[in-house]
Every structure is written in structure tokens, then in C-alpha cells.
Amino acid sequence: MRDDAAAPADPTCDVPLTEVEIQDIFTAMSQSEGYLDITPGDALALYRLAYRHASARVGRERTVGTVMTSPAHTASPELPGPELARLMASLGVSGLPVLENDTLVGVVSIKDFLPSLGLPRQATPMALVAALLEGGLPSANLARLTTRDLMTAPALSVPPSCPVAEAAELMDRRRINRLPVVDGGRLVGIITRDDIVRAWRPEAAPE
């Protein structure tokens, strides 16, 4: 069991709730009215177990639809590669769903550009910087490609009713950073790793 796992913080005190230690339990027990027949260690163990259940429940119960970014920016499959790069740069995004006639046909992200620039798919942004320093990148290839050539297809997607925890699990397993949210065949938004991090902040918790 890991106690140092990322946990939402209590907004009132800026201390992650899993940081509660036995001396805190002891102090709380001293303040409580009357005698509690539980040892501080058991109370702490119970607290941590309950906290883990609560985290799991909150993750299970929150749905993608409540935390996604909507509406999502999109790209057309006919868009030339360089145009797509400029579009993504101006939007400040690292990935876009690709729509053709209102139907999701793929997802494009930085990773999809890398092979056309002579870099491996899993290259990091720093590898890109390093390649630039060594005398630029072969971009002629990219100019001949369209979004359709670049994109990853078919795209994985989730419905708005999908629990956040499941979306997180899917992203982790497939090593992707975003998932288009599709409802009845129509793109209704996008959920990114950022959205999931935001969903875990306690002030974003559902009523």
C-alpha cells in the first residue's frame, strides 16, 4: 500500500489529507469529548482506509461528462500538416480530435508529427529541441502530408457517462493524454490529463 500516492488537498489547510499522522490522531482524540475505546494507531488505520474508499468512490462516481472540456477544438482531415501544426500552436493544445462530416475519424497529437520529422514516436520535447540545435529538421516531408495522413485512427473515445477513474485507467494503459468524448456518435468534448487532475481537487467535488 502506498500512503504517498497523489491525493487531493484539504482546501482549508493546504495539507494533503493522507499526511495525517498518528500524533494528529492523538491530538484529535485529546480534543474529543469523552473516552474513545480505540488506539490512535487503529483510528489512523481506519481513517486511511476510509479515505482510500472515499477517493475510489469519488473517482468512480464522477463522470467524464462533468469534467471534460467542452466544446472541443477540432481539425479537418484535409488540413495540410504545416497548417495543422500552426493551428495547434495558436490554440495552445498538444492534441486535437479530427472530424469528418461531424464524425470522429481520428486524433492527432505531437507524437503523430514526430516520425515525419525524422524522430521516433516516443521522442520527448527536449529531443525536438536537441534536433533543432543540430541544424533543423527535415520538414519537407511534413508539407506533403495532410491531417488524415498524420492522425492516429481509429480514435479511442469514451461516452460522457464513463467514470473518470475508467478514463484515467484507459489513458494510463494506452499511454495517451486525451480522449475524445462521444455521445450518440457526436463529439461533445474532450477529456485530458489536465481535466482529470482538476477533477481531483476537492473544491471540484460534486455536491
Partner 1 sequence: MEFFQKMRGAGQCPPRVRRSEIVSSFLGSLAGMGLLGLLHYNVADPADRVLLVGSFAASAVLLFAAPKSPLAQPRNLLGGHVLSAIIGVTVRLALPDMPWLAGALATALAIAAMHMTRTLHPPGAATAFIAVTGGPKIIALGYLYVLCPALAGPLLLLCVALATNALTPGRRYPEYWW
Question: Which residues are at the interface with partner 1 (CB under 8 A)?
Answer: 22, 26, 29-30, 33-42
Q: Which of 113, 116, 110 is nearest to 93 (CA)?
A: 110
What is the C-alpha radius of gyration for the chain, rounded to an integer number of angstroms? 23
Closer residue to partner 1 in complex, CB, 25/171: 25
Least separation, in Å, of the C-beta of 37 and partner 1? 5
Closer residue to partner 1 in complex, CB, 12/31: 31
**3 state SS of 153:** coil
**CA–CA separation, 159 and 31 (whole Å):** 47
Least separation, in Å, of the C-beta of 46 and partner 1? 13
Tell me how far the alpha carbon of residue 181 is from its chain's centroid. 13
How many other C-beta atoms can be found within 10 angstroms of the C-beta atom of residue 174? 10
Closer residue to partner 1 in complex, CB, 23/124: 23
Closer residue to partner 1 in complex, CB, 31/122: 31
Least separation, in Å, of the C-beta of 44 and partner 1? 10
Closer residue to partner 1 in complex, CB, 38/91: 38
With the CA atoms of 38, 42, 43 and 45 taken in that order, what torsion angle do they form, in degrees rounded to the nearest 10? -170
Least separation, in Å, of the C-beta of 167 and partner 1? 40
Tell me phi and psi for residue 99, to 5 degrees: -115, 135
Least separation, in Å, of the C-beta of 36 and partner 1? 6
